[in-house]
A and B are shown apart, each in its own frame.
Chain A
Amino acid sequence: MPAVRLRDASMAYAARSLFEHLDLEVAPGEFLAVLGPNGSGKTTLLRILLGLVGLSAGTAEVNGRAPRRGSPDLGYVPQQRAFDPDLPIRGRDLVRFGLDGHRRGLPFDNRQSRARVDDAIRSVGAERYAGAPIGFLSGGEQQRLRIAQALIGDPEVLLCDEPLLSLDLSHQRAVSELIDARRRASGTAVVFVTHEINPILPYVDRVLYLVGGRWAVGTPAEVLTSEGLSDLYGTDIDVIEVRGRIIVVGSDESAPTEPGGHHHHHHDDHGIGPGPGRSRGTRAH
């Protein structure tokens, strides 16, 4: 049974289509990167799997069941963000939320909960700073605890929404390695939304690329090609591999830039050399 399955899935807000007729299966232990410009529906895809919004058409399944809010099958890792230093919450409290933060009552510790939180903290190597207020942790430290928080319930699927954003390179690597190790050890499927594939390129099995209603699925080598991305964006795109990193360059100002403002003109995204046999979808007319 696939960990995640989308069948003929379409999603549209008002007149704008995010994707149509998307077919996707993510196997247990598979690492799927979801790429695409801002507003292309990457985060919406996660919200669908979390059961927060419904598809416009088609079906979605997580671990064989329709997505539902608060499902224990899912772990969720958000972007790193700033916390007020005065906030009376420690790293271990954040991890504990992942265990039973949704349950009513008071968060008193008992031997079992303390042991599980300790284990989760140890599994991400965060023992040293788990007792500190989260407002004083670095971005990398915070994201390690986020992973502990997401994994403490032993989910089948780990959903990550730009978890490496605003981390420095060494922390990006460390956090990516943690996620990779976990999916190999426990068979947790990973759906990883990012605009920057290079930090996770060594671990990614397949890529889902969303652009303005079109989509493509395949290995990085299949999807991230000059030809493939030019096709998706509907304009000339060059994909260049430099020292194992992927650079995507648009031929004009409008190319893989984000709609609505600042763009990363040569944002270093994406895949390797040309490849065969990818599946793709286009906007229906």
Chain B
Amino acid sequence: MTGALYLAQPFAQHALIAGALVAVTCGLIGPFVVTRGMAFAVHGTSELAFTGAAAGLLVDNNPIGGALVGALVVATVIGALGVRERERDSAIGVILAFGLGMGVLLLSYYRGFATAATNILFGNIFGVSNDQLLALLAIGMGVVLVMALVYRPLLFASVDADVATARGVPVRLLGFVFLVVLALTVTAAAQVVGTLLVLSLAITPAAAAQRWTPNPLRVTALSVAFALVAADGGILASLASTTVKPSVFVTSISFGIYLVSRVLGPRLTRRSRRADADTVVSA
């Protein structure tokens, strides 16, 4: 079988490692993205990571560095725009549309490989170099470390901002820290599934995990597990297929997990939920 042969190749091993790193970071932040109602912010950040990547490609042939800068700039702008959700979303929409246009403009000046543009948009997991792998590893470790430190107060602030403020939790600062973590994660995820499909790893696994339990730690663990299955499962499937891009498999598996969770997850109806919740042992 061809897929098994590929597994001995460095490009496939790099892809699987990169996929796992990205899955862990996305799975970790996903529940917070959902809880904080920031799906659109993730999308906006990744679209502007595309603009940054296009600029990076043009200036320095370095799309990852450009994407990182782009995502961080957007995170800062979103953070500066304040906390009001409705206002935030329209502002993100405005910036997103303009940024995407700029990205297209920048790419029109690019005279390198024609696939570079589609790689940014739809991912290039099999083209991960040693350097890029190290960069992903650094980003992944940074995200995991920060999330492990801020998890509890961030959860408090995300769910219950008023009481968290009263208890002395630095709610706004944590919101900004989370935006930076989000920017890093989105940049890394864009390598695997591309900037257009980041949501399939940053939102879908978390949304699926919520269908199974109301316990926040378990939701996080499930979200990471689902993201891992989708990312590395998608990469393995594309090794076997060779014609279809891995992003297609990653997004399809992720969506499949979500569908199964919606149908089979115990928290389906209002009536059943309380009874089910009673059976959940405290973590």
Contact = CB atoms under 8 A, between A and B. Distances in A.
B164 A88 contact: no
Interface stretch (B55-63, B212-220, B231-239): B212-220
The prevalent SS among residues of B at the interface is helix
Contacts of B160: 94, 97, 101
B273 A104 contact: no
B152 A133 contact: no
B114 interface: no
B165 interface: yes
Interface in B62-114: none
Contact of B151 (A89, A90, A107): A107
Interface residues of A, number: 41
A105 B145 CA distance: 10
Interface string A122-139: 000000010111001000
Contact of B210 (A51, A88, A90): A88
The prevalent SS among residues of A at the interface is loop
Given A85-B270, A131-B277, A136-B273, A108 B217 contact: yes
Interface string B130-156: 000000000000000000111111011
B163 A76 contact: yes
Nearest to B153: A102
A129 B151 CA distance: 25
A101 B277 contact: no
A132 B148 CA distance: 25
A132 B277 contact: yes
A260 to B, nearest CB: 20
A229 interface: no
A106 B151 contact: yes
A208 interface: no
Chain B contact patch, size range:
35 or more
Interface in B161-206: 162-169
A274 to B, nearest CB: 38
Interface in A148-206: 149, 159
Contact of B274 (A88, A103, A105, A132): A132
A88 B31 contact: yes
A12 interface: no
A125 to B, nearest CB: 16
A149 B215 contact: no
B241 interface: no
B167 A76 contact: yes
Contact of B168 (A70, A83, A108, A133): A70
26 contacts: A69-B168, A70-B167, A76-B163, A78-B162, A85-B270, A86-B210, A87-B35, A87-B159, A88-B35, A88-B213, A88-B215, A90-B214, A92-B282, A93-B216, A97-B167, A101-B152, A101-B164, A102-B167, A102-B168, A107-B155, A109-B282, A114-B282, A131-B278, A133-B214, A133-B273, A159-B166
Interface of B: 31, 34-35, 148-153, 155-156, 159-160, 162-169, 209-210, 213-217, 219, 267, 270, 273-274, 277-278, 280, 282-283
